[in-house]
Amino acid sequence: MSNIYLDYSADTPADERVLSVYTETARNAFANPNSLHSEGRKARSAVDDSLVKISELLGVSTDELIFTSGASEANNLAIKGIAHSRRRKGKHIVSTFLEHSSVSGALTYLQEQGWEIDLVNILPSGKIDLEHLKSLMRDDTVLCAVCAVDSELGTVQPISEISEIVKGYPNCVLHVDATQAIGKIKLDLTGVHTASFAPHKFYGLKGFGVLYKAKSIILEPLIHGGASTTIYRSGTPDAPAASACAAALKYAFNEIEERNSRVSELNQKLRDHFLENNMISINSPEDAVPHILNISVNGIKGEEMRRLLDEQGVCVSVKSACSVANTPSRSVMALFHDRKRALSSWRISLSHLTSDAELEKFIEILGSIIQR
């Protein structure tokens, strides 16, 4: 049997239909979309068409979309751009322990530049403590950065309730890292000021990302010079990648019920099995997205378990793929306040492409490692 891939939250294989859109656009709209000749206009038309398709699926305007190189750039553009453009209104930011490193890293950078960062407590449910959030908000709070779905545990945050709290502070912008949410859950962007995602998380291509930015929000750009689709992010627009992103988003939205039904079935099968083994602790909450299942095996560090599984042809992650190795999971620590459990944690991430045979073999391999 070939490798058993259970790391779909880190990356997904590109859908053949998406690849076809990319190659067709690359062949037929290869010119620089900024060029004024007929081939340039053809490429610009492909970019504009992608903007329309993506905006309609998300329920936003075309001029509220910024194309980037990925979700990490989108997070950095939003967080640094908002902070710098609002520095005269205040230098206080609220976030959580659950954020991806592209969010926490950007916040650390701002902290070193003089911004004050407060982190919201996490409830036993995995959701942020809304009462604590209320107590942290101030008149000089300029940004609240919260992930829609935690990449390690799969916890779904109450974004609409968070947006209601933020609404009471006119100087504050709500940024949502929606990278693990878009294509997996139905996310309403009402009340959200900026949101990031990348198509390689839902069977699209790497090297491309999207930042939603409400019309009312002003950002200070990270990249200056060079024409583009927006003043907020310079660089030659990538017509094939934009077209491929629109296609991947369409398929993800159209097939979300069917895909989630399959993934939920697989997740429940694993949960039922793990509950029978007293060596295994399930870290993901019951109402987490079914695509992510985080567990700890007593006495075995997560990095060691990842290595042992890899030797047997099973691909999983310890924390998110962008995190620092051999450090406790911030998410698991925030939830359970148990360093050993956090160090032993690792993530299984599932797909509608995962077969029953793969899952059975994985269960068998994991059992033999634990027994050994």
Residues making up the chain, counted from first to last: 372
Residues 273 and 324 in one domain: yes
- From first CA to last CA, the distance across the chain in angstroms is 22
Kindly tell me if the per-residue pLDDT of 323 is higher than 60: no
Kindly tell me if the per-residue pLDDT of 229 is higher than 90: no
Last residue of a domain, one of 238, 254, 270: 254
Residues 229 and 299 in one domain: no
Cα–Cα distance list, 119 to 67, 96, 102, 129, 341 (Å):
29, 5, 16, 10, 21
Cα–Cα distance list, 86 to 77, 93, 357 (Å):
14, 11, 53
Residues 281 and 228 in one domain: no
Q: What is the mean pLDDT of residues 189-203?
A: 97
Residues 293 and 158 in one domain: no
**Model pLDDT, residue 31:** 96
> 240 in a domain, yes or no?
yes
Q: What is the mean pLDDT of residues 285-299?
A: 97
Residue 100 banded pLDDT, cuts 50, 70, 90: very high
> 367 in a domain, yes or no?
no
Residues 88 and 229 in one domain: yes
**Model pLDDT, residue 305:** 97
> 9 in a domain, yes or no?
no
Cα–Cα distance list, 370 to 8, 304, 310, 317, 330 (Å):
23, 12, 14, 17, 24
Tell me the catalytic residues: 322
Last residue of a domain, one of 197, 226, 254: 254
pLDDT single digits (tens) 270-280: 999 999 999 99
Amino acid at site 152: E
Residue 330 banded pLDDT, cuts 50, 70, 90: confident
Q: What is the mean pLDDT of residues 67-90?
A: 97
Last residue of a domain, one of 254, 276, 306: 254
**Model pLDDT, residue 172:** 98
Look at the block and give the residue holding tokens 């109450």. Answer: 158
Specify the CATH number for the domain of residue 322: 3.90.1150.10
Which residue range(s) make up the domain with 172?
A: 16-254
Residues 261 and 318 in one domain: yes
Kindly tell me if the per-residue pLDDT of 32 is higher than 60: yes
Mean pLDDT in the chain?
A: 95
pTM of the model: 0.95
pLDDT single digits (tens) 109-165: 999 999 999 999 999 999 999 999 999 999 999 999 999 999 999 999 999 999 999
Residue 42 banded pLDDT, cuts 50, 70, 90: very high
Angle value at C-alpha 302, between 298 and 303, nearest 5 degrees: 140
> 3 in a domain, yes or no?
no
Cα–Cα distance list, 252 to 227, 339, 344 (Å):
31, 37, 33
Specify the CATH number for the domain of residue 70: 3.40.640.10
Residue 328 banded pLDDT, cuts 50, 70, 90: confident
Please give the Cα distance from 14 to 4 (Å, whole number).
Answer: 17
> 7 in a domain, yes or no?
no
> 68 in a domain, yes or no?
yes
pLDDT single digits (tens) 163-177: 999 999 999 999 999
**Model pLDDT, residue 325:** 60
Look at the block and give the residue holding tokens 């990842």. Answer: 306
- Here the tokens at position 142 are 């300029």
Q: What percent of the chain has pLDDT over 70?
A: 98
> Phi/psi at 244 (nearest 5 deg)?
-65, -40
Residue 3 banded pLDDT, cuts 50, 70, 90: very high
pLDDT single digits (tens) 340-361: 999 999 999 999 999 999 999 9
Phi/psi region, residue 88 (left: phi>0; alpha: psi -120 to 50; beta: rest), is: alpha
Total count of domains within the chain: 2
Residues 239 and 296 in one domain: no
